[in-house]
Amino acid sequence: MEYSQIILDYMSKKNITAYRMSQITGLSESTFSKWKAKPTSKIPVDSIQKIAKQFNLSINELLGETETTTSLSDEEKQILESWDKLDETGKLIVRAKIAEELRRLEK
């Protein structure tokens, strides 16, 4: 099943309209209409993050990929939750620190 259809189904279960979701997430209402007309899995990660956050779910949970989530350690889940709280600048800083650490380990 395409990701857009999974999201639309979840919205339907929660009785959230495309209009309301667009107000909450900042995504256009037409985005949801397009997904309904032509389901797709090509959705920007930041859009999926906004939708998942609205439902208080991880991206994996929202998209029905719970096996990945449940296989993570508590520490890994905490890291992912922290990641979701970062703004774009914070994410850039973390990526740079990880790259720096990986270069250090390769020496």
DSSP symbols for 6-18: HHHHHHHHTT--H
Q: Is the pLDDT of residue 21 over 80?
A: yes
Q: Is the pLDDT of residue 10 over 60?
A: yes
Q: What is the dihedral of CA 14, 24, 41, 71, to 10 degrees?
A: -70
Whether 51 contacts 7, CB under 8 Å: yes
What pLDDT was estimated at residue 38?
A: 93
Task: Give whichever of 6-10, 58-62, 75-79 has the largest mean pLDDT.
Answer: 6-10
What pLDDT was estimated at residue 70?
A: 53
* Residue ranges covered by each domain of the chain: 1-71, 73-107
CA angle 49-1-52, nearest 5°? 15
- Which of 57, 61, 23, 63 has its CA nearest to residue 43? 63
Entry pTM: 0.58
pLDDT-derived band at 68, boundaries 50, 70, 90: very low
Residue 27 has a CB neighbour count (10 Å cut-off) of: 19
CATH number of 1-71: 1.10.260.40
- CA–CA distance, 89 with 44 (Å, rounded to integer): 18
What pLDDT was estimated at residue 69?
A: 45
Q: What is the mean pLDDT of residues 5-23?
A: 91
- Which of 65, 3, 11, 10 has its CA nearest to residue 35? 3
What pLDDT was estimated at residue 107?
A: 79
pLDDT-derived band at 28, boundaries 50, 70, 90: very high
- Which of 77, 58, 65 has its CA nearest to residue 3? 65
